[in-house]
Amino acid sequence: MIEINNLTDFSVDKKIILGVAKKVLKGENKGIENLSIAFVYPEEIRKINKKYRRKDKPTDVLSFEKINNFKGEFLEVVICPEVVKEKALAKKKTFKEEMVKTLIHGILHCLGYDHEKSQKEEVVMQEKERYYLLKS
């Protein structure tokens, strides 16, 4: 089950978000995972980032893996559309392109990929991101 919660006034194309999420989960053989995707304002993601990563600033995406592996437990991706928009402008990409990349990145983190662990992990994660971007 994929749950999408837009807690902002940004227009988020749920059809695209759902399609991308399904492709990544299916591609990683995790098609039966429960996934929650929340879109929040910068103030909210800053609070979450400070609490869980000790970084007192807004970020584009935060990801949370399952903790206990309970049957109904959700993987969680929290995205800040405002930060995604800023990144898109800086990279000269469309909001949609950057949002899709951000979502893929967040889901991969939920599934255990971590580009901050090592150079090797970073390469693996970047290859996965490119692969799913091409499929989206």
pLDDT digit string, tens, across residues 33-91: 899 999 999 999 999 999 999 999 999 999 998 777 666 788 999 999 999 999 999 99
| 74-79 and 61-64 beta bridge pairing | antiparallel
pTM, rounded to two decimals: 0.91
- Where do we find the tokens 């909001």? 95
Q: What pLDDT, on a 0 to 100 scale, did the predictor assign at position 102? A: 97
Question: What DSSP character marks residue 58?
Answer: -
Q: What is the mean pLDDT of residues 109-132?
A: 91
CB atoms within 10 A of CB 83: 20
φ and ψ at residue 75, rounded to 5 degrees: -75, 150
pLDDT digits (tens, 9 = 90+) for 37-51: 999 999 999 999 999
CB atoms within 10 A of CB 23: 17
Identify the sign of the CA torsion 36, 56, 116, 96: positive
Please enumerate in sequence order all residues whose Cβ is within 8 A of that of 95, keeping only pairs 6 or more positions apart, or say none.
Answer: 81, 84, 85, 88
CATH topology of domain 2-135: Collagenase (Catalytic Domain) (3.40.390)
